[in-house]
Amino acid sequence: MRRLSLFPAWEVAVSNTRAPAIGLFGIQTPLVSIGFGSLVVAVILLGIYSIYRDIRRDEELLKMKSEFISNVSHELKTPISAIRMLADNLWQNRVETEARTKEYYH
């Protein structure tokens, strides 16, 4: 092994020994690499599931919002249409009796 000292406080060493790519808690075996890879895949799958769940929830909220707006619109249009019909009858003098006219105004 050859040592090269360019700076007094630093050392650079070059060695030809082979070491495993991943070591965890002092254990350096191929199983650590498999475990680490499995962990990465699990985290990716968990992220994909989380994103899918969020998108599905957003779609449900959009559907609920659309239905709510449709229902409110319908509930507002129905009485307004009835009032408009009575007002049109009064405007065009289609009401035959004075009692009916008072009822329409009421």
Strands 12-14 vs 2-4: parallel, antiparallel or unpaired:
antiparallel
Q: Decide: 106 and 91 in contact? Cβ < 8 Å.
A: no
* pLDDT per position as a tens digit, 12-29: 566 556 554 455 566 556
State the residue for tokens 């009401």. Answer: 95
- Taking the model in full, what pTM does it have? 0.49
The residue type found at 9 is A
Q: Decide: 44 and 56 in contact? Cβ < 8 Å.
A: no
Helix or strand run (H / E) with residue 54: helix 30-91
User: Which parts of the chain have pLDDT scores under 70?
Assistant: 1-33
Centroid of chain to Cα 91: 52
Query: What pLDDT was estimated at residue 20?
Result: 47
